[in-house]
Amino acid sequence: MPKEYKTIKKIVDKLASKNDLGNRDIPFSIGSGRYMAWRAEELGLCKEDACWYYRNLNPYKKHKNFNGINLNELLNQSYLFSGIEAYAWNDIAWLSKSTFLAYGNRKDYLACVIAHEISHIIFNDYIYRSIKISNKIEEIEFQNKDKVVKNIIQEKDKNEELIEIFKMELNRDSEVNADINSAKIVINAGFNRNTCSEGIKFLAEKNELDAHTDKKSTHPGHIERHKLLDEFIKTYDNLSIEKNFKPYKWKWTYNRKLNTLTFKPLKIDESKL
C-alpha cells in the first residue's frame, strides 16, 4: 500500500476513535491532480473541460506513452506542482498525490481536509443541495406563471442566471458547513482547537486562494471562511460529545486495481435486535 494511503488510514483511525463517521463505506482515492489535466490539454491529449481522465489518473501505475508524450514524466511533474486538492464526489473522498507533499509533516492540517471531505459524504450534502435547487426552480416557475413575458429568451436567460447564482450560494453554504463539521471532528479527536482555522490560512497561502467571496464561486473567499470558522471554534464545547460518544469498530480494504482504500464501519443495527 502506498505511503499516502497509510497516512489516510492513520488519520481516519484517529478521527473515528472519537467521532461517529456514519454507517456507510467511505472509499478514498488518490489521483494525479490538476497540473496533469492542464498540461494534457496544452499537449493536445484532451480538449478543454474534458481532461478529468488525466486529473484522476492513477499515480501509482506505470503508463504507456500516448501520442509521443511520456505520461509518467507528466505524473512526476504533477506531483511537484499540483498543490493541495481534495473533493467528495459520488461518496468517494478524492485527494491529489501532491496534497500529501504540500502538507509535509503537517498531518494535523491534512486531517482537517480529510474531515472536510468526509463531512460532505456523511451529511449527504449533494442530496440537500439538489432538493433546494429543485424547490428554487419551482418557485421561479410559479412566480412567472401568470406573467406576460414579452421577451421569452431574455426572461429565460435571467432565470437561468438566478438559478446558477443560487447554486453557487448553496455550494458556499455547504463548504462553510463542511469547515465547521471538520473542526468538530478534529477537535473531538484530540487535535488542537485552532488546527482547522490555521489550516485554512495554510491552504490559502499554498493555493493562492481569493481573499474575498465571489457570488459566482463555489467556495467562500478565505477571509470569510476563516472568520466563520473562528467564530464557531470559540463557542464549540465538545465535552458533551465525548461523554455521549459510543466507540465502534471498523476495518479497511485496499484495492490496488481500483486505486481505493475503503473505510468500513462495523456497527450493529440495534433496530434489528
Rounded Cα–Cα distance for residues 219 and 225 (Å):
9
User: 261 vs 164, which has greater pLDDT?
Assistant: 261
Q: Which of 75, 72, 69, 73 is nearest to 55 (CA)?
A: 75
Q: Could you state, in order of their start, the residue ranges of all structural domains in the chain?
A: 3-18+105-245
3-state secondary structure of 234: helix
Please give the pLDDT value at position 273: 39
User: Three cell numbers at 124?
Assistant: 449527504
Give residue-wise pLDDT tens across range 30-45: 999 999 999 999 999 9
pLDDT over 80 at 57, yes or no: yes
Rounded Cα–Cα distance for residues 113 and 117 (Å):
6
pTM of the predicted structure, to 2 decimals: 0.85
Please give the pLDDT value at position 205: 86
Give residue-wise pLDDT tens across range 65-80: 988 899 999 999 999 9
User: Three cell numbers at 7?
Assistant: 497516512
User: 240 vs 167, which has greater pLDDT?
Assistant: 167
Q: What is the DSSP string of 155-204?
A: HHHHHHHHHHHHHHHHHHHHHHHHHHHHHHHHHHTT--TTHHHHHHHHHH
User: Three cell numbers at 213?
Assistant: 467571496
Q: In 131-160, which positions are buried (b, 16+ CB within 10 angstroms) versus exposed (e)?
A: eeeeebeeebeeeeeeeeeeeeeeeeeeee
Give residue-wise pLDDT tens across range 88-129: 988 999 999 999 999 999 999 999 999 999 999 998 766 666
Strand spans (E) along the chain? 26-31, 86-89, 92-96, 249-255, 260-266
Please give the pLDDT value at position 120: 92
Please give the pLDDT value at position 217: 79
User: Three cell numbers at 229?
Assistant: 470558522
Phi, psi of 205 (to 5 degrees): -70, -45
